[in-house]
């Protein structure tokens, strides 16, 4: 074994520093080293010292240089270029420092740098692999986080889509899905819908504005939420001032009634705000149905309808769904829908009921009464459809048609006899409101048909609006001005402002049939004489409606009633029957 | 846009990212094939880029060191990128072990990587944020938790604004960020500029435009206003290698004017 002398100047710090500085310059820019330049030189000086020690070790063992190579990379002197420059510098500078020439120690230096390169490349490879692994993991993590964030944002988005912003409650979409799921699952036997309307809300909003309205709604929603939680029933804000509670398998109607009472009690507590005490009220519609075969739309429609019934009942009421009532309302709705078409198809016709003068039992007039020949339901009396026609506004068109028919019929009878009956036609308030239109219609009709105005009578119902409405009054005056007769129908049954009667241009009071019906031969109390006298005092003729017996007729005659109408004197009948009647009479007179 | 507006930014390792390119230029391996392919193209046009990246990174180290020594304990590093080497918290905590750092980056991978790297280190966090929405960064709960905006803050905007185009209003962004800082805070900023750039400017810009963050080209004169009324500390806004260079300074890898990056540190009066 060759024993080499110790390197000359081995402990000389300035030599080491010089080598380190040359090394630092050589590797500058070859890799980023996160240190101040001073520290870089110090670090490289440390490596230089250790490498010299390895180079001059006895016996020579290059293996520690492998570790130094690893440490170089760890200190971030890490790039292929750094290794190249390092080998160059060290091969040049180390041998003189070791006190040997390159030639003499060439083999040792080569083995040293070879060991260093092995450590260095191993370190670089490890570092690369570590970094690749860490970036891969970071990517996976980032992907997971992104997916999570996406899910959360989707969740938030979905939540927003199915929840009400103001109250935070599930909204209608959510509720309908919940109900549909429940029906589909079929787990429950029965399900009840508790449809809640906050009836006071509209008034609060109208009076105090939307901010306070929203406040009242939020407080209400919170109260309902607390109650629903304690009861364990899902709750949703259905729309505007409507909430809905879903009750699975309710324990019978008393149970539902209990829930409804609780809700109403909870909601009817006034809401305090900074400056106001807002009175609250609610109505509830309840529907309890078997889940099997349930149609979600159908059950919600029933719930909404029941809520309307409850509202119509008064404040703080609930109603249980009633299928029979529902059927009636549905039928009524369908009938209302048929009205316009019925008018177009001329399905309405008139029957006439005699108006008889008591004095000689002569038919001095007839009242035209409308009937509907419905294609499916057959003949319908006005009780079934007049309200619908008024609600839908079709009454004006229908009224016009009937007036036309009645006038033409009156003209027919006028041709037939010397003392023809007048025809009395009912006119709705809505027709009167269309004042100029009605006046024009009547005027044109009289001209066109050639009917004497006194052969037409319009019957108006006692109405609260007539005395206060100058427009209506003017219309009545104008019609009376045409020479058309006017009668006040159903007198005494409704609103009675006797004062206005003095100035109303009517010719006849038609005393409501109730007074006749209530009269008995034994009666000691009856308003009939007073009503007749009232008519006469106002210089009007008195006509009693609903006369069905001879006793009634005789009594009415005894108190001076002028005219009568009723089954005893003739039912409503076809125009042809009246015609026959008239022909008989005129034959008798001859 | 195939992602809805409310969806978080996605991960696309097939598309090069500025953060991973920067890592590659610093000699790191936190990058993917797409990044390396792009890096090779950039190097073919501008072989000095690794040296520029190193010089910029060295500036960050010197500046953070100086700030920590000046007593700053809170650092907000926007556009922190992949934490390759010599991260802000390491440099700052060398001087002040209680220094707190919030790293912000747009790249979800960079954020995830930072999060793993700084795991279990109290007072250091990484959040995802877009400098174009400074309000989101400033009001991020994590930012608010770690940084007390009543105490001086060091805001680091290093080699970031060249990726914010004029239409995104970098001046307004910087004003909003500066306004959020209390008196005695610092802005540390470096910016790639076209003054003295010897390489094919358009080519480099076009290449970067294919990354997730397209580049803007500005001059030194256009960078200065980003400091607003902050008072630049010595030596002012200079070439990145000239900002308080290390001694001895004869081993910098690149000459000052070739660095194509200007840098400075300003203090809020």
pLDDT tens digits for A273-293? 878 888 899 999 999 988 888
pLDDT the model gives residue A293: 82
Best to test chain A binding among B11, B19, B33, B119 (most A CBs inside 10 Å): B11
- Statement: the pTM of the whole predicted model exceeds 0.80: no
Report the distance separating Cα A231 and Cα A260, nearest Å.
Answer: 12
Distance from CA of A106 to the nearest CA of B (A): 29
Residue B6 with chain A: CB contacts under 8 Å: 153, 156-157
Give how far Cα B202 sits from Cα of A349, B41, B42, B237, Å.
Answer: 91, 13, 11, 25
Residue A31 with chain B: CB contacts under 8 Å: 27, 54
Q: Say which of B112, B246, B248 has its CB closest to residue A138.
A: B112
User: How much of chain A is helix, strand and coil, in % rounded to 5?
Assistant: 60, 15, 25
Residue length, chain B?
A: 269
Average pLDDT in the A389-415 region? 91
The listed range with the strongest mean pLDDT (A38-47, A180-189, B246-255) is A38-47
Residue A129 with chain B: CB contacts under 8 Å: 29
Report the distance separating Cα A587 and Cα A256, nearest Å.
Answer: 72
Q: Say which of B26, B116, B252 has its CB closest to residue A141.
A: B116
Name which residue leads in pLDDT, B217 or A126: A126
Residue B88 with chain A: CB contacts under 8 Å: none
Kind and range of the H or E element at A213?
A: helix A210-231
Average pLDDT in the A319-343 region? 86
Name which residue leads in pLDDT, A527 or A124: A124
Residue A143 with chain B: CB contacts under 8 Å: 11, 108
Distance from CA of B227 to the nearest CA of A (A): 26
pLDDT the model gives residue B91: 93
Q: Which is the catalytic residue, given A41, A133, A545, A554?
A: A545
Residue A75 with chain B: CB contacts under 8 Å: none
Distance from CA of A124 to the nearest CA of B (A): 10
Q: Do B85 and A143 touch (CB under 8 A)?
A: no
Question: Do the bridges between strand A563-564 and strand A541-544 make them parallel or antiparallel, or are there none, so unpaired?
Answer: parallel
What number of H helices and E strands is found in chain B?
Answer: 10, 8
Q: Do A134 and B30 touch (CB under 8 A)?
A: yes
What radius of gyration do chain B's Cα atoms show?
17
Residue length, chain A?
A: 590
Range list of H helices, B164-233: 170-179, 201-208, 220-223
Say yes or no to pLDDT of A384 above 70. Answer: yes
Q: Say which of A28, A141, A153 has its CB closest to residue B251.
A: A28
Report the distance separating Cα B246 and Cα B157, nearest Å.
Answer: 21
Chain A residues within 8 A (CB-CB) of chain B? 21, 24-25, 28-38, 40-41, 76, 78-79, 127-129, 131-132, 134-135, 137-139, 141-143, 145-146, 149-150, 153-154, 156-157
Mean residue pLDDT of chain A comes to 88
Q: Do A32 and B251 touch (CB under 8 A)?
A: no
Q: Say which of B7, B31, B61 has its CB closest to residue A135.
A: B31
Of A511, A516, A420, A416, nearest to A459 by C-alpha is A511
Say yes or no to pLDDT of A231 above 50. Answer: yes
Is A545 known to be catalytic?
Answer: yes
Distance from CA of A12 to the nearest CA of B (A): 21
User: Residue B125 in contact with residue B117, Cβ under 8 Å?
Assistant: no
User: Residue A217 in contact with residue A280, Cβ under 8 Å?
Assistant: no
pLDDT tens over chain B, length 269 residues: 345 555 556 677 788 888 888 899 988 899 999 999 999 988 888 888 888 899 999 999 999 999 999 999 999 999 998 867 788 999 999 999 999 999 999 888 889 888 888 888 899 999 999 999 999 999 999 999 999 999 999 999 999 998 898 889 999 999 999 999 999 999 999 998 887 666 666 767 676 766 666 677 788 899 999 999 999 999 999 999 999 998 766 566 677 767 788 999 999 99
Q: Do B85 and A76 touch (CB under 8 A)?
A: yes
Closest chain A residue to B60, measured at CA: A34
Q: Do A32 and B252 touch (CB under 8 A)?
A: no
Average pLDDT in the A110-122 region? 95
Mean pLDDT lowest for which of A174-178, A374-378, B206-210?
Answer: B206-210
pLDDT the model gives residue B143: 94
For chain B, the first-to-last Cα distance in angstroms comes to 43
Give how far Cα A411 sits from Cα of A363, A453, A500, Å.
Answer: 16, 11, 33
Say yes or no to pLDDT of A2 above 50. Answer: no
Residue B11 with chain A: CB contacts under 8 Å: 139, 142-143, 146
Report the distance separating Cα A452 and Cα B42, nearest Å.
Answer: 108
Distance from CA of B33 to the nearest CA of A (A): 11
Q: What is the per-residue pLDDT across A335-371, written as a single tens digit (0 to 9) for each?
A: 888 888 999 999 999 999 999 999 988 899 999 999 9
Q: Do A32 and B30 touch (CB under 8 A)?
A: no
Q: Do A25 and B9 touch (CB under 8 A)?
A: no
Report the distance separating Cα B109 and Cα B10, nearest Å.
Answer: 10
Average pLDDT in the A151-162 region? 83
Say yes or no to pLDDT of A458 above 60. Answer: yes
**CB contact set of A358 (below 8 Å; sequence gap of 6+):** A553, A556, A557, A561, A562, A563, A564
Of B113, B89, B136, nearest to B31 by C-alpha is B113
Average pLDDT in the A150-169 region? 85
Residue A137 with chain B: CB contacts under 8 Å: 116
Q: Say which of A40, A128, A149 has its CB closest to residue B29.
A: A128
Residue B48 with chain A: CB contacts under 8 Å: none
Region for A419 from its dihedrals, namely left if φ exceeds 0, alpha if ψ lies in -120 to 50, beta otherwise: beta
Average pLDDT in the A219-225 region? 93
**CB contact set of A31 (below 8 Å; sequence gap of 6+):** A76, A77, A78, A79, A81, A82, B27, B54
Q: Do A32 and B26 touch (CB under 8 A)?
A: yes
Report the distance separating Cα A373 and Cα A548, nearest Å.
Answer: 27
Distance from CA of B6 to the nearest CA of A (A): 7
What number of H helices and E strands is found in chain A?
Answer: 22, 16
Distance from CA of B170 to the nearest CA of A (A): 27
User: How much of chain B is helix, strand and coil, in % rounded to 5?
Assistant: 40, 15, 45
Q: Do B254 and A29 touch (CB under 8 A)?
A: yes
């Amino acid at each position: 074994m060759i024993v080499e002398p110790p390197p000359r100047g081995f402990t000389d710090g300035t030599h080491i520093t010089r080598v380190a500085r040359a090394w630092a310059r050589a590797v500058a820019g070859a890799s980023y080293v996160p240190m101040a330049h001073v520290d870089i030189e110090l670090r490289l000086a440390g490596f230089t010292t250790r490498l010299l020690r390895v180079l001059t070790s006895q016996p020579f063992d290059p293996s520690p240089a492998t570790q130094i190579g690893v440490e170089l990379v760890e200190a971030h002197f890490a790039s292929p270029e750094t290794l190249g420059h390092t080998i160059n510098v060290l091969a040049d500078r180390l041998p003189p420092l070791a006190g040997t020439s390159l030639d003499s120690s060439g083999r040792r230096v080569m083995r040293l740098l070879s060991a260093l390169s092995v450590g260095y490349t191993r370190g670089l490879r490890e570092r690369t692999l570590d970094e690749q692994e860490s970036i891969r993991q970071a990517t996976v993590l980032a992907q997971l986080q992104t997916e999570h964030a996406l899910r959360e944002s989707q969740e938030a988005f979905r939540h927003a889509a199915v929840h009400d912003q103001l109250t935070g409650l599930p909204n209608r979409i959510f509720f309908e899905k919940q109900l549909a799921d429940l029906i589909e699952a079929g787990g429950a036997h029965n399900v009840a819908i508790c449809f809640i309307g906050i009836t006071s809300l509209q008034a609060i909003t109208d009076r105090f504005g939307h901010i306070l309205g929203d406040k009242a709604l939020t407080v209400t929603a919170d109260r309902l939420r607390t109650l629903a939680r304690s009861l364990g029933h899902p709750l949703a804000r259905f729309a505007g001032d409507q909430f809905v509670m879903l009750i699975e398998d309710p324990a019978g109607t008393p149970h539902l009634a209990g829930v409804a009472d609780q809700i109403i009690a909870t909601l009817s507590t006034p809401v305090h705000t900074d400056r106001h005490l807002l009175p609250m009220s609610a109505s509830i519609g309840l529907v309890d149905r078997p889940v099997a075969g349930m149609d979600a739309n159908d059950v919600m429609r029933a719930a909404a309808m029941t809520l309307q019934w409850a509202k119509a009942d008064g404040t703080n009421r609930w109603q249980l769904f009633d299928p029979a009532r529902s059927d009636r309302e549905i039928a009524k709705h369908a009938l209302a829908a048929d009205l316009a078409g019925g008018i177009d198809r001329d399905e309405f016709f008139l029957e006439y009921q005699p108006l008889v003068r008591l004095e000689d039992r002569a038919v001095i007039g007839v009242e035209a009464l409308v009937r509907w020949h419905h294609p499916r339901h057959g003949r319908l009396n006005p009780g079934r459809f007049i309200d619908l026609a008024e609600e839908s506004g079709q009454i004006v068109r229908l009224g016009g048609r009937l007036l036309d028919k009645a006038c033409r019929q009156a003209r027919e009878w006028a041709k037939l006899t010397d003392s023809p009956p007048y025809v009395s036609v009912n006119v709705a308030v809505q027709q009167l409101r269309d004042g100029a239109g009605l006046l024009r219609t009547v005027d044109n009709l009289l001209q066109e048909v050639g009917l004497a105005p006194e052969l037409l009578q319009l019957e108006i119902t006692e109405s609260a609006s007539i005395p206060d409405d100058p427009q209506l009054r003017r219309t009545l005056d104008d019609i009376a001005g045409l020479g058309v007769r006017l009668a006040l129908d159903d007198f005494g049954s409704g609103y009675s402002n006797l004062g206005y009667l003095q100035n109303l241009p009517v010719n006849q009071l038609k005393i409501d049939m109730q007074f006749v019906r209530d009269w008995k031969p034994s009666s000691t109390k009856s308003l009939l004489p007073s009503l007749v006298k009232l008519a006469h005092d106002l210089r009007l003729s008195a006509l009693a409606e609903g006369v069905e017996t001879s006793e009634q007729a005789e009594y009415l005659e005894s108190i001076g009633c002028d005219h009568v109408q009723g089954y005893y004197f003739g039912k409503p009948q076809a125009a042809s029957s009246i015609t026959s009647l008239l022909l008989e009479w005129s034959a008798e007179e001859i | 846009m195939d992602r809805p507006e409310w969806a978080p930014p996605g991960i696309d390792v097939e598309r090069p990212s500025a953060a991973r390119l920067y890592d590659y230029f610093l000699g790191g391996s936190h990058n993917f094939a797409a990044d390396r392919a792009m890096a090779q193209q950039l190097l073919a046009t501008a072989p000095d880029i690794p040296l520029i990246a190193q010089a910029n990174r060295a500036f960050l180290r010197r500046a953070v060191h100086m700030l920590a020594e000046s007593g700053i304990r809170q650092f907000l590093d926007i556009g922190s990128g992949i934490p390759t080497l010599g991260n802000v918290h390491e440099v700052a905590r060398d001087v002040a072990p209680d220094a707190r750092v919030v790293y912000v980056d747009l790249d979800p991978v960079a954020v995830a990587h930072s999060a793993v790297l700084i795991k279990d280190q109290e007072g250091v966090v990484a959040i995802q944020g877009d400098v174009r929405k400074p309000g989101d960064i400033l009001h991020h709960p994590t930012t608010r938790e770690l940084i007390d905006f009543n105490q001086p803050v060091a805001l680091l905007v290093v080699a970031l604004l060249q990726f914010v185009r004029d239409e995104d209003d970098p001046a307004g962004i910087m004003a909003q960020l500066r306004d959020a800082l209390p008196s005695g805070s610092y802005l540390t900023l470096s910016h790639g500029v076209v003054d003295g750039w010897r390489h094919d400017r358009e080519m480099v810009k076009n290449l970067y435009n294919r990354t997730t963050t397209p580049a803007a080209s500005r001059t030194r004169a256009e960078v200065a206003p980003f400091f607003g009324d902050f008072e630049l500390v010595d030596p002012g806004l200079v070439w990145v290698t000239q900002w308080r260079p290390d001694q001895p300074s004869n081993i910098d890898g690149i000459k000052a004017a070739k660095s194509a990056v200007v840098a400075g540190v300003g203090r809020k009066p």
